Chain A
């Protein structure tokens, strides 16, 4: 039976339905998880989708990271479970300390909704495992605070340990080292600013997001089997 992926909904999240749709196109069963849930029983992977949790007030992700569900996500990740943060979800994961660095306002101080091209620079993650290294994917971006920053030591470590999983071919927001997505040490927690779910159907422009989502679903199925 297909992997069960939980999609977390905070007040202000708005990409949850799109994300479930795309996960199902990638072969999973998606279920919405309300932010007050304290357990993630029966889920093989968790996605924090895009949107504006708590209106992005204070800082994107700053309030959401304190939602009850986040403690469960932390345990799930510590147990090796696949966790993906897309856009606002990536911001929540950095605020929660599940991923290093932070996402600050775009260079240019404007919101950017535009096509983007990202390159797979490491396959050592649940999102890129099995996808050809160097492959370029057309996946749109949609954010105001998508510029990735971290201190030099962290950056060096990310580079040396293959944790920069995706880089922009053309940097849309001023991210350091063109970083579009990073992974945790174990590779089971991944965050990216581009929206793979928005590239899951040629009818709306591209399905280049599917290889990534299939990789995630594959990793989730692995969890289920184990």
Chain B
């Protein structure tokens, strides 16, 4: 009968044969289910692992790199920072509120599993244009899910992204990044060790929710009517349970009561038990009969693969069990011994599943965790690649009315982030709405420090669709610039690779190009990749999403005692553009892949501007040092700063004008092309000391040009735009509400 069951469980005939080989016999139903979930794309990365190996992962600050639950960086002063990014795309498409909420719950567990207290969340979101009822339902649901879970569990959401593109209409993307901090000496890893030690299940009871959820959901694209069948898998999050779980787990770690700890995420107990055992090179006996149930009549395989939320697996010595029990009781967290660590010389490293006294499954733990097949899937570039790249929007005729098209590119995302607590812990110096979030490096249980951490999430599917390799490099450059604008030096990268169907050779080509582009760019900026996540099968009835790598970049600030110059214009100040104004080569102001070309002209093809990593790093270091002067309390030559990114110079200027409530008069901008080009490596600065700023820029090898003066009631770019600031502000502020809450 297992002859067909393995297919239903998402295993190919070859994979089934491999399992038979590993076991030396036919697997039973439970064993097949274990392999089914553990060898799924979601848990095993079988299509992407081969490529991910090419990413640079080492650096002198890296304490823990990819492979563990989260990457960990040494931030100094005895404090380590843990960071991780995850996707919850498919669950969110089926039930946006719960899908997004459980996405937040899952990423938090990855962080406090490392011993870190979760201190901040970021949420890059991608939807179709929010004009139909379905897109509004998705956006409302996702945002309310993140809001209700994140706010209640007590972790501020300090930033994110919001991108609308038709390619996400059927398959929205919900990525969540979490950052936590811990005293370096509390760092723990998800390892089991010590024969006879106890495996203790902490937290919620186990139900049928999410059985095969992640695996089934994440490994099969959407085909309209099939959604119905998938619905029973929906998981409901309980932020109150998670809050108690966080406090209990951190208290257990502070008290030194656990040997190892691991969250239960995709593939539930099957994953947590096999991974902790495999990492520790030991075996584990698990008794499904000892697992507290929420529902009657669950089969052992259901208990092992259930993805019920808010559960952790802790490895504790028999001697400390009473203390563990007592501490969990205080926090009203359920704790049950569900297994023991085994070091059986005769059969080392076995995961033995019992139901009471009879053994219902017995497999090598490492074969579940590590022996999943690695696929080198066929890949090739899209047939029409050259045609696409030559179809360049640069040089399309100037708009009749630049002002209108500029206004159309302005979006105030506060409709989203007003629904998020972004202030808890009193650390948020710069919250959502600026270039990057800037936080004091402080929190309950951390040693005192004057340092700061900054974090930004960035993506640009419109670039990556044109050229995944160059596109992702430009995205990393933008992230570095965003950090510089809040005075931070980048130290580590996490990435969430959202792609289409890996069985389509173009998609595998996109993935491979993206990895190479990211690897090269990371080397160029001297940044390690400390973690990531891959989400494949983001497609709707055969149509793949644009390649969507989302980067989270962590930055550090040595001394944070004063606020940075805002992302705003100050009336009377001089506006200076830092960085080269013209691209080398034929077109000085390329428009390929720009928001203007895509959103105002519907031109999605062309060539991307080139990135000069060395020049970009010089600019970023220069800007970061000027802002850091202010952070350290030494004042700054800057009174406002903002990098030029999506929408180009026009949008960056407008965002600063609106934020500062100040008009501006700018001259010498070379037509709509310079107004809208997304040429990288440019930062807008407002200053009261333009001479000094330009002198210091020259000394630092950074081009600088005075382009205008802030002040007055109008936003004017000579020969291109002349509108009242109020008008501009209104279109910016109302952009989302107009579409989401049509009267």
Q: Within 8 Å of chain A (Cβ to Cβ): is B681? A: no
Assembled-state Cα–Cα distance A201/B560 (Å) = 13
Which listed residue, A17, A55, A204, touches B240 by the CB 8 Å rule? A55
Q: Within 8 Å of chain B (Cβ to Cβ): is A75? A: no
CB-CB < 8 A to A51: which residues of B? 154
Q: Is the CB of A111 within 8 A of B429?
A: no
Q: Within 8 Å of chain B (Cβ to Cβ): is A159? A: no
Shortest distance between the CB of B277 and any CB in chain A (Å): 32
Interface stretch, picked from B35-43, B97-105, B415-423, B659-667, is B415-423
Q: Within 8 Å of chain A (Cβ to Cβ): is B594? A: no
Q: Within 8 Å of chain A (Cβ to Cβ): is B147? A: yes
Q: Within 8 Å of chain B (Cβ to Cβ): is A197? A: yes
A 156-200 contacts with B by CB, 8 A: 195, 197-198, 200
Q: Within 8 Å of chain B (Cβ to Cβ): is A140? A: yes
Q: Is the CB of B429 within 8 A of A203?
A: yes
Assembled-state Cα–Cα distance A144/B152 (Å) = 10
Q: Is the CB of B420 within 8 A of A17?
A: no
Q: Is the CB of A204 within 8 A of B426?
A: yes
CB-CB < 8 A to B148: which residues of A? 111, 144
Q: Is the CB of B418 within 8 A of A112?
A: yes
Question: Are A113 and B154 also in contact (CB < 8 A) when A202-B563, A203-B429, A204-B429 are?
Answer: no
Residues of B in contact with A (beta carbons under 8 Å apart): 144, 147-148, 151-154, 238-240, 243-244, 331-332, 417-429, 440, 444, 560-563
Assembled-state Cα–Cα distance A27/B444 (Å) = 20
| Closest partner residue, chain A, to B247 (CB atom) | A11
Q: Within 8 Å of chain B (Cβ to Cβ): is A52? A: yes
CB-CB < 8 A to B420: which residues of A? 111, 113
Q: Is the CB of A52 within 8 A of B418?
A: no
Question: Are A113 and B240 also in contact (CB < 8 A) when A11-B332, A21-B426, A51-B154 are?
Answer: no
CB-CB < 8 A to A201: which residues of B? 426
CB-CB < 8 A to B238: which residues of A? 55
Which listed residue, B154, B417, B426, B428, touches A52 by the CB 8 Å rule? B154
Please classify how large the interface on chain A is, using the bins under 10, 10 to 19, 20 to 34, 35 or more: 20 to 34
Q: Is the CB of B240 within 8 A of A198?
A: no
Q: Is the CB of A14 within 8 A of B424?
A: yes
Which listed residue, B152, B153, B239, B427, touches A204 by the CB 8 Å rule? B427
Q: Is the CB of A52 within 8 A of B239?
A: yes
Assembled-state Cα–Cα distance A52/B239 (Å) = 10
Q: Is the CB of B429 within 8 A of A110?
A: no
CB-CB < 8 A to B563: which residues of A? 202-203
A 49-71 contacts with B by CB, 8 A: 51-52, 54-57
Assembled-state Cα–Cα distance A14/B240 (Å) = 11
Q: Within 8 Å of chain B (Cβ to Cβ): is A78? A: no
CB-CB < 8 A to A111: which residues of B? 144, 147-148, 151, 418-421
Which listed residue, A112, A144, A198, touches B426 by the CB 8 Å rule? A198
CB-CB < 8 A to A52: which residues of B? 151-152, 154, 239-240, 243
| Closest partner residue, chain A, to B560 (CB atom) | A203
Q: Is the CB of B419 within 8 A of A15?
A: no
Shortest distance between the CB of B256 and any CB in chain A (Å): 22
Q: Within 8 Å of chain B (Cβ to Cβ): is A12? A: yes
| Closest partner residue, chain B, to A114 (CB atom) | B418
Which listed residue, A18, A21, A113, touches B422 by the CB 8 Å rule? A113
Which listed residue, A18, A112, A202, touches B425 by the CB 8 Å rule? A18
CB-CB < 8 A to B332: which residues of A? 11
Shortest distance between the CB of A186 and any CB in chain B (Å): 31
Which listed residue, A17, A195, A203, touches B561 by the CB 8 Å rule? A203
| Closest partner residue, chain A, to B241 (CB atom) | A55
Assembled-state Cα–Cα distance A198/B424 (Å) = 8
A 18-51 contacts with B by CB, 8 A: 18, 21-22, 51
User: Which of A57, A195, A204 has its CB near the most chain B CB atoms (within 10 A)?
Assistant: A204
Q: Is the CB of A18 within 8 A of B426?
A: yes
| Closest partner residue, chain A, to B154 (CB atom) | A14
CB-CB < 8 A to B153: which residues of A? 14
5 more contacts with CB within 8 A, not counting A17-B444, A21-B426, A55-B238, are: A52-B239, A113-B422, A142-B151, A142-B423, A204-B429
